[in-house]
Amino acid sequence: MDETDYVIIIPARKGSKRLPQKNTKRFCGEPLVEWTITVARSINLPVVITTDDEIVAEIAQKHNLVLRSRPEHLADDNASQVDVVLDALEYCNDIGIFCSGIILLQPTSPLRIKEDVVNAYNVMLAENKQSVVSVNVCQEMPFDVVNFSGEPLEKTKGIYYYINGAVYIATAEWLKKQRTFYMPRETAMYIMPKYRSIDIDDEGDWEVAEKIMRGIR
């Protein structure tokens, strides 16, 4: 994977309704975004942080990462994640970092490890897909469950999965065209264990994730 011409993009905006200053709040002693930076830096690829947060920008500069100062229209609640990623990709091209693919790592998945990223990429290659997303097995039947067959859910049987938000990978041209990381039949799935699949959205998620992190360190 180290020899690919992909770029890792970490989106870390300032605003957060449920957890103010979430990306810079200390998680097990370090700003939350640092945990994702550590994983990203362990992979020999360019790392870009896109942010409107001065503290996140300082952290990015401390690690000598590429910093994209996010435009104002991409820093509010209405901005789509894909628009943010494509803006960062265009910025990379403008400064001479040309890449054929994108790895999106969100700071809200601090339990994700390097092997999750590498294994997800390898699954995408093995299945000859244009994208891959990390998933976890559904314990119940939620409304936002997704499948990878393209068939209506009521016609599918077996195990269901939800996209856990930890790893998104796609070829650049495909992402520009589809404007999503997930398309039935075109997207592979990488199954992660439940304990690494927490996507921090509120205080409850934060407390559970910290307990798990302390238990595995």
Position 217 in a domain:
no
pLDDT of residue 79: 83
pLDDT of residue 93: 94
φ/ψ of residue 56, rounded to 5: -60, -40
Three-class secondary structure of residue 155 per DSSP: helix
| Sign of CA pseudo-dihedral 103, 106, 109, 113 | positive
Confidence of residue 18 (pLDDT cuts 50, 70, 90): confident
Greater confidence (38 vs 148) lies with 38
Three-class secondary structure of residue 55 per DSSP: helix
- Token couple for 187: 């997207």
Residue 64 DSSP one-character state: T
In the chain, the number of structural domains is 1
Is residue 217 within 8 Å of residue 28, measured between CB atoms?
yes
Residue 75 DSSP one-character state: S
- pLDDT at residue 146 tops 80: no
DSSP string, 21-36: TGGGSEETTEEHHHHH
pLDDT tens digits for 97-130? 999 999 999 999 999 999 999 999 999 999 999 9
CATH number at residue 56: 3.90.550.10
pLDDT of residue 60: 96
Position 215 in a domain:
no
Q: Which domain holds residue 102?
A: 6-210
pLDDT tens digits for 40-77? 999 999 999 999 999 999 999 999 999 999 988 898 87
pLDDT tens digits for 165-215? 999 999 999 999 999 999 988 999 999 999 999 999 999 999 999 999 998
Position 1 in a domain:
no
- pLDDT at residue 142 tops 60: no
Average pLDDT over residues 20-37: 95
Residue type, position 160, single letter: Y
Which residue carries 């997303």 as its tokens?
133
Three-class secondary structure of residue 132 per DSSP: strand
- pLDDT at residue 134 tops 60: yes
pLDDT of residue 167: 98
Position 141 in a domain:
yes
pTM for the full model? 0.91
- pLDDT at residue 143 tops 80: no
Q: What is d(CA 154, CA 85) in angstroms, rounded to the nearest whole number?
A: 33
Residue type, position 7, single letter: V
pLDDT of residue 14: 87
